[in-house]
Structure 1
Amino acid sequence: MNIAIYGAGSLGTIMGAYLSQSAENVDLIDVNEEHINKLNENGATIKGSIEFHSKVNAITPDKINKKYDLVLLLTKQIYNNDVLPIIKNILNTDGILLSLQNGVPEHFISETIPKEQIIAGSVEFGATYAEPGVSNLTTTYDTFKEYALQIGELNGVVTERIKNIKEVLEHIGGVFVSSNLIGTKWSKLLINSSFSGLSAACGCTYGDIMDDEVGIQSALYIISEGIQVAEKQGIEFEIMSGVDFTQFKIIDNIEKQTKKLKMIMESNRKLEASMLQDLQKGRKTEIHYINGLVAQEGDNTDIPTPYNDKIVEIVSEAENKKTVPQFSESIAEFAKIIEQKKELLI
């Protein structure tokens, strides 16, 4: 099987390193030429919660000279207009695109790639780009090996091809097949919108959010907003990494629920959101496809989403000014929302 990892950044480098240990033919594809050159010269190096090294084959998109049976799509949604026509051209006629992008982009992807060639999934581990050829695994290794990916057919049917792909991808880590892919994607969106959104909006790690009273309460309310918006559309959430996030739909015991949320997220304490890494590099983020999606759907369903709105506001301003938000300033903004909620309850 010819496999392409399209978007071999922090996550893709880790997936490529492990997949390259299998019997499959694996190419890591990325536009970062320095990164590609280092991968070819020195192999992929994984640090952080594990020390791992693997020889890989890496190329830039202009050097692609074959068709692929399976393409793992890991680029950001903001590049889809440019990336998807390339994917269409490099897929075999019976090839499969596995969308692993954040958010819920599959409807848009199907406008370019035939729907029957698309499966989707969610990445359940975290990573940061350290330097060319090197990626840091920020999720604990045991968690990564138990819960790396969820994948599923768009119609929820557990087919033979999804079982075959699961078997291939298990060279990376634990892979679960979902019969409710949209519920899986929304479960992942709850984490992206809360901890990734706050990480970007506050310029900090997940652990910094967890250790701050306002930060962890804000994460809780962001999850609650996402659940209410999705359920209004008839979305049924899936268990993710053994966790049922719908327990946070109604916030009625702050102390107990924040303690529970901290326990759930502890293995990701060291993670910095990829959106924060984008801001640090002066790049555009996916904020409008993550917190912006929740905020937009909240508007459509008449559900208030003040926390998601604030994250979109802060990150958008940082993008425009090419700055990184300051923790104390952003936390003060979320503290104001918490106080406003308390006043409404009096």
Structure 2
Amino acid sequence: MNIAVYGCGSLGTIIGAYLSTTEHSVDLVDTYDAHINTLNKEGATVEGTTDFHVNVHALKPEEITKTYDLILLLTKQTYNSTVLPMIKNILKTDGVLLSLQNGVPEELIQQHIPKKNIIAGSVEFGATFKSPGVSALTTDFTAFKNYALQIGELNSEITLRLKTIKTILDSIGNTHLSDNLLGTKWSKLLINSAFSGLSAALNCTYGDVLKHPLAFKIAMIILDEGIKVGRANHIKFAHMANHPIDNFENHNAPEKLNSFMQPSKNLEASMLQDLRKQRQTEINNINGLIVEIGEKVKIPTPFNQKIVDIVTTASQTNQLPEFEKSLKSLLQNV
């Protein structure tokens, strides 16, 4: 099977590295010249909570000369308008595009790729891009291997092709099959809005949020806003690693939420990494999406809006947020 990992940043590098240990033909696709060159010359290195190295084959989009049976989409949603038409040209007519992007991008993807060719998923581990060819796994290694990915059909069926793709992805880590795809994507969106959003807005790791009482309180408020918005939008939330997300509504079960997030305590939001590199963030596709849908279903989302404001200002001014200053701004909403 011809497989492409399209978008090889922190997550894509790790996914591509482990897939490259299989019998399949795997290409890591990215636009970063130095990264592509290092991957081809020195291989992919995964450090952090593990130590793994493997030779890989990498190339730039314009260098692709074949079509693929399976494409794993890991680019940021901000690039979808240019990336998706390119993917359409390299995906076989009976091929599968597996969307592993943050948020809920499948509606936009269907404007370019036929619905029958799409499977959606959720990455359940965190990583940091360290340097060309090197990515650091920030999630506990055992947790990563036990629960690396979650995938599902758009119609919620557990199909033969879904099971086939799982056997391939299990080389990365245990891949769970979902019969509630939309609920899965929403549950992941809510965790990202609370912890990735705060990581970017406070310029800190998830662990910094978990151990700071006021920051953690704000995380629970952000999560509560998202739960209420999703419920009003008729979403049936999927469990995250056997944790019912809606159990955290109304700021309930803080100890369980803290425990649930501990394996990701070393994670730093990719949006924060984008701010440091002066790149466009996905804030409008994460916290901004909750604000947008909240307006439609008439659920107030002041804390999600404040996160959007802080990160947007940081992006526009090229100045990283300051923990205490951002925290004070958020606490004005309490």
TM bucket by the smaller chain?
over 0.9
Quote how far apart the aligned CAs of 1:114 are. Answer: 0.6
Q: Which whole-Å deviations, capped at 9, do the CAs of 1:131-171 have from their partners, x for residues lacking one?
A: 00000000000000011000000000111000000111000
Are 1:147 and 1:174, in contact at CA under 8 Å, matched by a contact in 2? yes
Residues 182-208 of structure 1: per-residue CA shift (max 9 Å, x gap): 000001001110000000011111011
**Which one of the candidate residues 301, 304, 326 is aligned to 1:305?**
301
Q: Is residue 300 of structure 2 the alignment partner of residue 279 of structure 1?
A: no
- Show the counterpart of 1:97: 97
TM-score normalised per structure 1:
0.95
Q: Which residue of 2 aligns with 1:330?
A: 326
DSSP-derived class of the 1:241 partner: coil
Aligned-partner Cα distance in 2 for 1:264–1:132? 31
Quote the sequence identity (%): 55
TM-score of the two chains, using structure 2 as the length reference: 0.99
Report the residue type matching 2:301 in the other structure. Answer: T
Residue type matched to 1:124 in 2?
E
Task: Please give the secondary structure, in 2, of the residue aligned with 1:249.
Answer: helix
Output the CA distance in 1 between the equivalents of 2:250 and 2:320.
32
Q: Which residue of 2 aligns with 1:115?
A: 115
SS in 1 for 2:8: coil
Q: Counterpart of 1:343?
A: none
Q: Could you tell me which residue of structure 2 aligns to residue 194 of structure 1?
A: 194
Letter in 1 for 2:154: L
Aligned partners of 1:233, 1:269: CA distance in 2, in Å? 30
How do 1:1-346 residues align onto structure 2 when only pairs under 5 Å count? 1-251=1-251, 257-338=253-334
Contact 1:189 1:290 in 2 (8 A): yes
Question: Which residue type is aligned with residue 128 of structure 2?
Answer: T
Residue type of the alignment partner of 1:160:
L
SS state of the match for residue 332, structure 2? helix
Aligned residue for 1:220, secondary structure, equals helix
Q: What's the CA shift for 1:174?
A: 1.0
Contact 2:248–2:254 (CA under 8 A) maintained in structure 1 = no
Q: In the aligned structure 2, how far is the partner of 1:191 from the partner of 1:276?
A: 16
Q: Contact between 1:214 and 1:334, CA under 8 Å: does it hold in 2?
A: no
Determine the C-alpha separation between the residues in 1 that align with 2:310 and 2:147: 31
Q: CA deviation at 1:237?
A: 0.4
Task: List gaps (5 residues or longer) in structure 2.
Answer: none
Aligned pairs, how many?
334
Distance 2:105 2:308 in 1: 18
CA distance in 2, matches of 1:305, 1:279: 23
Unaligned runs of 5+ in 1: 339-346
The CA deviation at 1:243 is: 1.3
Q: Distance in 1 between matches of 2:157 and 2:29?
A: 30
Distance in 1, Cα, partners of 2:260 & 2:330: 22
